[in-house]
């Protein structure tokens, strides 16, 4: 994905970060401004633009919030091409994978516009302020919270009465599941892989028990925690199970968790954010460590349209 050094793009990708014991460590986001009613970034419809990619699970969570809360008109988007090049995330000049906002050909051009000059990885999602012409945030968790609380006070995905519980789930799910699959897939030692997989499936088992008696993570209310979990579930059986060796079980082997995932998929707008063929092509792209020949498997076929037994209500 390349890096920026003082606002200048360097195409050499340092690759996934690992510690001396082979454990994968995700780079931290550094552009973390906030949308608030008293500014300088205010929640004005039409002011902000999202740069995303279908195959990125961190970008997926922002698209889910946008769809669930009906923010499509308030927050416009540009979608990068599914396959990165030596220029990182790139755009076509027109069509579905073009940038209608700034007519950029690569995401690093957006980072180059930010002031002060940016140093760091070139990642999606990016929340861009059209008015100030700068990046508000490249931290997906912050963008999810801003979109889920700031634009409609009557439809909030982090209601105050559930905030502590949501934060607890977010912390667990990020460490053990969202990032846990990457800790397994990018592990460089057996010990690091074993630890990641053990943590991952212990947490999936915990979720299975919880969702056997609860409609959602917080009982029966849809919150951002559910939508932060879903992108990993959406990719699990077709990508992480095989490409990242998270193969103790499939999502479909967990009756409650699989039913919950399909209930989320059935919510209006969610299915349009799920792109199985793009996921498979991305996770099985050529990789010296994981898939040196770049062969994309034919299966599995995952039936997301099988009706769930539970119904998850949308925010009022």
Distant-in-sequence, close-in-space partners of 210: CB < 8 Å, separation ≥ 6? 217
56 catalytic per annotation: yes
Q: Exactly one of 9, 48, 182, 193 is catalytic; which is it? A: 182
Strand order in the sheet with 48-53: 75-80, 48-53, 126-129, 134-137
Q: Exactly one of 9, 24, 48, 56 is catalytic; which is it? A: 56
48 catalytic per annotation: no
**Rounded to whole angstroms, what are the CA distances from 161 to 65, 157, 164, 172?**
19, 11, 8, 19
Asked whether the beta carbons of 147 and 62 are under 8 A apart, the reply is yes
What are the catalytic residues?
A: 56, 182
């Amino acid at each position: 994905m390349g890096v920026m050094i003082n606002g200048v793009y360097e195409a050499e990708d340092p690759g996934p970060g690992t510690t001396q014991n082979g454990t994968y460590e995700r780079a931290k986001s550094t552009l973390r401004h906030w949308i608030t009613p008293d500014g300088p970034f205010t929640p004005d419809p039409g002011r902000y633009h999202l740069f995303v990619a279908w195959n990125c699970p961190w970008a997926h969570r922002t698209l889910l919030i946008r769809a669930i809360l009906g923010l499509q008109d308030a927050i416009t988007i540009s979608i990068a091409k599914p396959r990165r090049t030596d220029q990182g995330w790139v755009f076509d000049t027109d069509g579905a994978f073009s940038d209608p906002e700034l007519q950029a050909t690569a995401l690093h051009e957006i980072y180059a516009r930010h002031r002060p000059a940016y140093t760091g990885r070139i990642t999606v999602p990016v929340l861009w302020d059209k008015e100030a012409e700068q990046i508000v945030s490249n931290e997906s968790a912050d963008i999810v919270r801003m979109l889920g609380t700031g634009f409609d006070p009557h439809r909030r995905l982090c209601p105050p009465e559930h905030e502590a519980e949501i934060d607890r789930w977010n912390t667990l799910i990020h460490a053990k599941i969202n990032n846990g699959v990457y800790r397994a897939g990018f592990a460089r030692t057996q010990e690091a892989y074993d630890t990641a997989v053990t943590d991952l499936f212990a947490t999936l088992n915990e979720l299975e028990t919880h969702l056997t008696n609860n409609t959602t993570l917080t009982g029966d209310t849809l919150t951002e925690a559910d939508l932060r979990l879903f992108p990993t579930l959406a990719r699990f059986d077709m990508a992480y199970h095989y490409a990242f060796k998270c193969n103790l079980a499939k999502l479909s082997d967990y009756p409650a968790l699989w039913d919950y995932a399909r209930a989320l998929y059935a919510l209006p707008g969610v299915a349009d954010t799920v792109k199985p063929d793009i996921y498979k092509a991305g996770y099985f792209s050529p990789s010296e460590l994981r898939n040196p020949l770049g062969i994309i498997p034919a299966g599995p076929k995952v039936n997301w349209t099988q009706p769930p037994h539970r119904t998850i209500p949308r925010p009022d």
